[in-house]
């Protein structure tokens, strides 16, 4: 029971981290109809910038400044890159963001090299917050949870309760009408793109110390983020939240409990072959759940796409 | 119409199927492929040419989706990889159980296997084009790449599966021990599959793929199911990607997880797009150029992938037609006989632009050396000159070249634009 609680918290941390990325991505998608392939690269930039700033000004200034820098970079990319490519159609836009992801990875390697950065948890948060049946929960995890929840609530408040949020929501559904009412819709788009990438930057800043800051970190998380928003339904914020948490918990529990395929198969009534070494299905017999934890999200995505192509919360036409 | 073309064609009142002007590029290319090993005889050149040929087949297969069908795939390496893995296994079966399969027909099995995988995946992924298709291809690609480490029986785990091509039946006394024999085998399959892919793009289904790419709704109104048209293209593309995989297996005799992952899928997108998706020969140029860049540049500099990334992003932003698009832009001035007008402005703008780019590259190289070279190692060689990377003079020179070149190119640009406009306008004013 205690172990379940610990895993629930671990999964929640992973899920909320995923959500910070997928929230920005799904917002940008519902606005421009393009998936930002470089989204995880902005997450990586957030971590690297924060590391660089923390060397001089400490962790907290990094948390404050790095996302702003990333957001400004994102807005510039939208203004001078994406808007230009937009005229060619959606597929070139996607290719552009893909190229951007490659380029950012190369630039990061150019500046910081291929090695992992010694970006670490600040001293203030380096203690055990609480322990559940002998399992320590570090304070940093609690901090991660609270930061992401705070950001989510702030985002929700801005989107649903403020004038700016109303204009954004209106611009998502009826850009032309909103433009006719005198609002600068391209500016709104640029702003949302900037905020989306800044969110990814925040995720990078707080995930960098625990998931390690290295040039491959964008690739590791990047495809999972896409999977998340496809499962949740492209363009749906609630879908992104549910899918993020779902993926966070599924992978955590699959890693924590060693469920063996052998037990399942014998449980159903199959007989284990005596000599496995040359058996055709030997890999099926030896699979364990920690082994396949990382591919479960992809499996889930394929299943969702086959049985519910528009995702959990997506609109039928999306 | 000349008598030759009439002899060649079996036309029954329609346009001739095979014309001399249509067949000529193919004949020249085939001849070229046959003669290449006589010009470049070294083993390393053969290796590069084999690699080129495999990349060309793969890029052409990829362009069946991207260029002709408008489907952007981020997981196309899977079909090539699966075909390749199947071929290595077949090679091993031939060795262990002496199956009577000669090596030259092996790629067709790779193709069939790739097609089989494409049949399964395509059945649900081709429902939508655009972003949804791209995401599904990415997810399936990652899924299979991740599975390759788990399913050891088929994929061989981390170290992959390896075989030996020389154990098969000798074909006319050839045992494929030498690189040159493999080259001719690869060249044969290259010409055959390129021709088949070209012919596919001329069939009604290939034409419908274009229509569905441009306007799926209209195609549906004409009575075609956009989904099935996409599905057929997808399956055909999977087949040819599998052939490329089979050739890879014959050439390298080993396949690993690397043949399936996102990096390989991404690089084929790069190759195809750099070459140009709008024309059939675009991916061919892209594959040749990319392989050359990869082998030549990677020997010269450590940051060649950075240059490649810049080149790719610049291509997407400014030349969405790729290299083939740029070449074909000059078809109209050529036809008007006004291409000569462009030479001087091109020279005046592009030479400074090249100098500027060399300056940028020099700045990057020097900065990279300062930051990442081992401590105390200040000596570096750039453009055949050795100097101390920490002294300011080379950096200043590079910056000057960069700025001056940019300024000159900028100054020549209006003239070039005007010449371009002139060269594209037929005599007598209005177009």
**Helix ranges (DSSP H) in A212-287:** 217-232, 237-256, 261-268, 282-286
The β-bridge partners of A135 are: A132
Over residues B288-303, the pLDDT tens digits come to 989 988 888 888 788 8
Residue A294 falls inside a structural domain: no
Subunit contact A295:B146, Cβ cutoff 8 A: yes
Residue A291 falls inside a structural domain: no
Whether B191 contacts B33, CB under 8 Å: yes
Whether B280 contacts B325, CB under 8 Å: no
Subunit contact B317:A295, Cβ cutoff 8 A: no
Whether B419 contacts B341, CB under 8 Å: yes
Write out residues 9-38 of A within 8 Å (CB-CB) of B. Answer: 29, 33-35
Cα nearest neighbour of A87 on chain B = B317
Cα nearest neighbour of B143 on chain A = A298
pLDDT at A277 (0 to 100): 63
User: How far is Cα B136 from Cα A68, in angstroms, rounded to an integer?
Assistant: 32
Cβ neighbour number for residue B282 with a 10 Å cutoff: 27
User: How far is Cα A177 from Cα A188, in angstroms, rounded to an integer?
Assistant: 14
Residue A73 falls inside a structural domain: yes
pLDDT at B17 (0 to 100): 65
SS3 track for A295-312: HHHHHHHHHHHHHCCCCC
Over residues B248-257, the pLDDT tens digits come to 998 888 888 8
Q: How confident is residue A68, by pLDDT bands cut at 50, 70 and 90? A: very high
Phi, psi values for residue B100, rounded to 5° = -80, 60
Residue A19 falls inside a structural domain: yes
Residue A275 falls inside a structural domain: no
User: How far is Cα B353 from Cα A212, in angstroms, rounded to an integer?
Assistant: 41
Q: Which residue in B309, B311, B373, B375 has the most chain A C-beta atoms within 10 A of its own C-beta, making it the best mutation to test that interface?
A: B309
Q: Where in the sequence is the domain holding A184, given as residue range(s)?
A: 2-256
**DSSP letter for each residue of A83-150:** HHHHTT-HHHHHHHHHHHHHHHHHHHHHHH-SSPB-----GGG-SEEEEETTEEEEHHHHHHHHHHHH
Number of domains in chain A: 1
Whether A74 contacts A185, CB under 8 Å: no
> Which among B139, B306, B371 is the nearest to A298, CB-wise?
B139
Average pLDDT, chain B: 83
- How is residue B165 written in tokens? 């091509």
Over residues B329-345, the pLDDT tens digits come to 888 888 777 777 777 77
Write out residues 76-135 of A within 8 Å (CB-CB) of B. Answer: 81, 84-85, 88, 90-92, 94-96, 98-100, 102-103, 105-107, 109-111, 113
Whether A243 contacts A266, CB under 8 Å: no
Q: Which of A296, A54, A149 is nearest to B147 (CA)?
A: A296
Residue A305 falls inside a structural domain: no
Whether A24 contacts A159, CB under 8 Å: no
Q: Which residue in B75, B317, B319 has the most chain A C-beta atoms within 10 A of its own C-beta, making it the best mutation to test that interface?
A: B317
- Enumerate domains of chain B plus CATH numbers: 23-329 (1.10.3470), 331-423 (no CATH)
Subunit contact B131:A94, Cβ cutoff 8 A: yes
Cα nearest neighbour of A89 on chain B = B130
- Tell me the chain A residues in contact with residue B66 when contact means C-beta distances shorter than 8 Å: 91
Over residues B96-153, the pLDDT tens digits come to 777 777 888 888 999 999 999 999 998 888 888 777 788 888 888 888 888 888 887 7
Residue B198 C-alpha, separation from nearest chain A C-alpha, in angstroms: 23
Residue A295 falls inside a structural domain: no
Residue A74: give its domain's CATH number.
Answer: 1.10.3470
pLDDT at B241 (0 to 100): 93
Residue A195 falls inside a structural domain: yes
Subunit contact B150:A223, Cβ cutoff 8 A: no
> Which among A29, A81, A287 is the nearest to B317, CB-wise?
A81
């Amino acid at each position: 029971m205690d172990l379940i609680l610990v895993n629930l918290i671990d999964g929640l941390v992973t899920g909320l981290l995923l959500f910070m990325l997928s929230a920005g991505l799904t917002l940008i998608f519902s606005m421009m109809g393009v998936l930002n392939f470089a989204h995880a690269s902005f997450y990586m930039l957030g971590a690297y910038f924060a590391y660089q700033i923390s060397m001089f000004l400490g962790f907290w200034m990094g948390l404050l400044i790095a996302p702003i820098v990333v957001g400004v970079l994102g807005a510039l990319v939208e203004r001078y890159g994406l808007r230009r490519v937009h005229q060619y159609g959606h597929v070139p836009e996607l290719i552009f963001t893909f190229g951007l992801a490659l380029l950012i990875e190369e630039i990061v390697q150019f500046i910081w090299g291929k090695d992992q950065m010694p970006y670490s948890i600040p001293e203030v948060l380096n203690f055990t917050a609480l322990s559940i049946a002998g399992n320590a929960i570090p304070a940093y995890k609690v901090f991660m949870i609270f930061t992401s929840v705070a950001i989510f609530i702030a985002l929700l408040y801005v989107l649903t309760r403020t004038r700016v949020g109303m204009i954004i929501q209106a611009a998502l559904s009826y850009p032309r009408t909103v433009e006719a009412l005198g609002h600068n819709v391209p500016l709104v788009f640029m702003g949302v793109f900037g905020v989306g990438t800044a969110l990814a930057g925040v995720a990078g800043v707080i995930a960098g110390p625990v998931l390690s800051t290295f040039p491959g970190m964008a690739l590791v998380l990047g495809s999972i983020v896409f999977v998340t928003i496809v499962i949740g339904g492209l363009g749906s914020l609630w879908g992104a939240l549910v899918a993020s948490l779902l993926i966070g918990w599924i992978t955590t529990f699959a890693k924590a409990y060693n469920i063996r395929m052998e037990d399942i198969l014998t449980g159903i009534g199959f007989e284990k072959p005596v000599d496995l070494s040359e058996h055709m299905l030997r890999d099926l017999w030896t699979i364990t759940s920690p082994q396949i934890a990382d591919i479960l999200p992809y499996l889930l995505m394929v299943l969702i796409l086959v049985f519910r192509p528009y995702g959990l919360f997506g609109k039928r036409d999306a | 119409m000349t008598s030759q073309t009439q002899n060649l064609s079996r036309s029954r009142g329609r346009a001739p199927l095979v014309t001399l002007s249509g067949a000529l590029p193919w004949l020249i290319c085939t001849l070229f492929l046959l003669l290449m090993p006589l010009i470049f005889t070294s083993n390393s050149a053969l290796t590069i040419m084999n690699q080129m040929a495999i990349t060309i087949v793969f890029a052409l297969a990829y362009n069946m989706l991207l260029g002709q069908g408008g489907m952007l795939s981020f997981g196309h390496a899977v079909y090539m990889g699966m075909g390749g893995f199947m071929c290595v296994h077949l090679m091993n079966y031939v060795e262990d159980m002496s199956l009577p399969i000669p090596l030259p027909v092996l790629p067709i099995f790779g193709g069939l296997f790739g097609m089989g995988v494409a049949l399964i995946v395509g059945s649900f992924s081709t429902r939508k084009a655009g972003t949804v298709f791209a995401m599904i291809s990415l997810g399936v690609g990652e899924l299979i790449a991740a599975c390759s480490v788990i399913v050891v029986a088929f994929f061989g785990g981390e170290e992959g599966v390896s075989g030996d091509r020389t154990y098969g039946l000798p074909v006319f006394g050839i045992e494929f021990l030498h690189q040159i024999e493999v080259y001719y085998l690869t060249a044969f399959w290259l010409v055959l599959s390129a021709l088949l892919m070209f012919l596919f793009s001329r069939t009604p289904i290939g034409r419908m793929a274009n229509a569905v790419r441009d306007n799926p709704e209209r195609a549906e109104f004409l009575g075609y199911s956009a989904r099935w048209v996409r599905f057929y293209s997808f399956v055909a593309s999977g087949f040819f990607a599998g052939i490329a995989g089979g050739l890879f297996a014959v050439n390298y005799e080993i396949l690993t997880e690397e043949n399936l992952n996102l990096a390989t899928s991404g690089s084929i997108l790069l190759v195809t797009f750099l070459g140009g998706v709008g024309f059939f020969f675009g991916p061919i140029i892209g594959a040749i150029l990319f392989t050359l860049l990869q082998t030549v540049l990677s020997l010269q500099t450590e940051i060649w992938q950075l240059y490649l990334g810049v080149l790719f992003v610049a291509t997407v932003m400014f030349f969405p037609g790729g290299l083939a698009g740029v070449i074909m832009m000059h078809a109209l001035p050529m036809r008007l006989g006004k291409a000569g007008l462009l030479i001087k402005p091109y020279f005046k703008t592009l030479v400074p632009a090249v100098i500027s780019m060399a300056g940028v590259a020099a700045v990057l190289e020097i900065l990279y050396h300062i930051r990442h070279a081992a401590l105390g190692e200040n000596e570096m060689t750039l453009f055949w000159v050795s100097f101390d990377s920490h002294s300011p003079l080379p950096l200043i020179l590079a910056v000057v070249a960069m700025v001056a070149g940019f300024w000159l190119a900028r100054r020549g640009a209006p003239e070039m634009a005007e010449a371009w406009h002139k060269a594209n306008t037929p005599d007598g004013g209005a177009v």
